[in-house]
């Protein structure tokens, strides 16, 4: 919620054909709406973020909405039928606030809340004071010419760390563990190595990183990654936190976005450690981007006959198993005929055991 810190601040984004608007109202409450005017469907805000002083005004015909989403006024009201402030207000979006992060759900199903999914991990997550953090740098989005599941396949295992990510291997390779925690959650734990490091960034990060008073001793020298099915990962570092996620645009187009957040800390050592942590992440991201591209290319190759998984890649297997339960059409040899995807998927889902939280 720190991305909309003040009354009237808004943040908007497009996702899978939908347009969402997050806004902080005059009562200081954060709400979520469709970025859709009830008049003709125009966007009511045109920019990704900004501030509305007292009302949200559609740039098409000037219909205005209060910060709580209710309809405020319309030009030439006598030319229109009688309008209800609530019924003709901005369409609300189902949303949830978890540790200061706003999650939206365009189609309400029977899946659990993020709070329910993450409840077993509060003993670790609670120490990081996530709701008190503020944006640390700009949110970055990048387009990737791959299928979104190819990103997850590379990210869902640490078997490749020793070879593909030498900086991470320096940082925590000797103490890295992947775990499937159930309920759609995975956890990767990287406890810092004690050995001397080859990489300048890693060596100095360990040397400069100061103690963090809000963390217990066990969390001072470890990086955690929590994966939330199907497409999101939270990064919990001693000096800052962040997330990254990817979502599909087309079968061969994906957008990945990521952002960092941090508690206020003016110590020079903290600023330097955060800079170095981001350098390590940037290097890792470039390495993964290449691996993802190669693996996606292989799906089109006649020489590629499918996965051969190590026990250390159990996260990939678990992820595919869960995908086949939620979206069983991915297991078909050929796609359904155009227009029959949803119905085919429903028929297939009805024939398999339900997920732990039902359907």
pLDDT, tens digit (0-9, with 9 covering 90-100), for 218-242: 999 999 999 999 999 999 999 999 9
pLDDT tens column, 100-119: 999 999 987 777 899 999 99
pTM of the model: 0.92
Pairing of strands 241-250, 18-24: unpaired
The answer for residues whose C-beta is within 8 angstroms of residue 181's C-beta and 6 or more apart is 120, 121, 187
Q: Is the dihedral of CA 210, 216, 218, 223 positive or negative?
A: negative
- pLDDT of 356: 65
d(CA 10, CA 31): 10
Measured distance CA(200)–CA(223) in Å, rounded: 18
What percentage of residues in the chain have a pLDDT greater than 90? Answer: 82
pLDDT digits 0-9 by tens, 262-290: 999 999 999 999 999 999 999 999 999 99
Q: Is the pLDDT of residue 358 over 70?
A: no
Contact between 9 and 24 (Cβ < 8 Å)? yes
The predicted-structure confidence for 209-220, as pLDDT tens digits, reads as follows: 999 999 999 999
Residues 342-347 have a mean pLDDT of 90
Q: Could you tell me which CATH class the domain 9-105 is placed in?
A: mainly beta
Please state, in angstroms and rounded to a whole number, the distance separating the CA atoms of residues 63 and 39.
8
Residues of the chain with CATH 3.90.380.10: 114-298
Q: Has residue 357 got a pLDDT over 70?
A: no
How far is 251 from 263, CA to CA, in rounded Å?
A: 38
Number of Cβ within a 10 Å radius of residue 175:
14
Instruction: Check residue 359 and give its pLDDT.
Output: 42
Which CATH architecture describes the domain 114-298? Answer: Alpha-Beta Complex (3.90)
How far apart, in whole angstroms, are the C-alpha atoms of residue 156 and residue 185? Answer: 11
CATH code 2.102.10.10 region(s) in the chain:
9-105
Total length of the chain: 359
CB-count exposure of residue 292 (10 Å: 0-12, 13-18, 19+):
buried
């Amino acid at each position: 919620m720190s991305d909309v810190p003040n009354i009237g601040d808004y943040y908007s984004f497009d996702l899978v054909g939908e347009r969402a608007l997050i806004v902080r109202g005059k009562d200081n409450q954060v709400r979520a709406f469709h970025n859709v005017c009830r008049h003709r469907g125009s966007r009511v805000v045109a920019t990704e973020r900004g501030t509305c002083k007292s009302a949200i005004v559609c740039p098409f015909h000037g219909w205005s909405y209060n910060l709580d989403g209710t309809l405020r006024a319309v030009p030439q009201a006598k030319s229109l039928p009688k309008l209800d402030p609530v019924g003709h207000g901005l369409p609300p979006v189902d949303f949830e606030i978890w540790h200061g992060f706003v999650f939206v759900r365009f189609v309400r199903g029977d899946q659990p809340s993020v709070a329910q999914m993450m409840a077993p991990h509060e003993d670790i997550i609670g120490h990081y004071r996530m709701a008190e953090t503020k944006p640390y740098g700009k949110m970055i989005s990048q387009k990737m010419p791959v299928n979104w599941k190819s990103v997850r396949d590379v990210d869902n295992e640490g078997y490749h760390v020793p070879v593909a990510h030498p900086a991470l291997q320096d940082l925590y390779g000797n103490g890295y563990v992947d775990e499937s925690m159930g309920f759609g959650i995975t956890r990767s734990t990287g406890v810092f190595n004690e050995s001397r490091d080859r990489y300048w960034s890693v060596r100095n990060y360990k040397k400069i990183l100061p103690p963090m008073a809000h963390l217990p001793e066990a969390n001072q020298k470890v990086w955690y990654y929590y994966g939330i099915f199907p497409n999101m990962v939270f990064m919990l570092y001693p000096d800052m936190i962040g997330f990254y996620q990817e979502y599909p645009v087309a079968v061969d187009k994906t957008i990945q976005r990521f952002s960092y957040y941090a508690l206020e800390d003016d110590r020079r050592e903290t600023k330097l450690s955060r800079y170095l942590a981001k350098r390590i992440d940037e290097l890792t991201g470039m390495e993964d981007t290449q691996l993802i591209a190669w693996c996606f290319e292989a799906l089109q190759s006649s020489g590629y006959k499918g996965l051969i998984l190590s026990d250390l890649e159990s996260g990939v297997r678990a992820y595919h198993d869960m995908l086949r339960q939620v979206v069983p059409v991915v297991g078909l040899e050929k796609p359904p005929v155009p227009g029959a995807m949803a119905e085919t998927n429903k028929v297939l889902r009805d024939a398999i055991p339900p997920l732990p939280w039902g359907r």
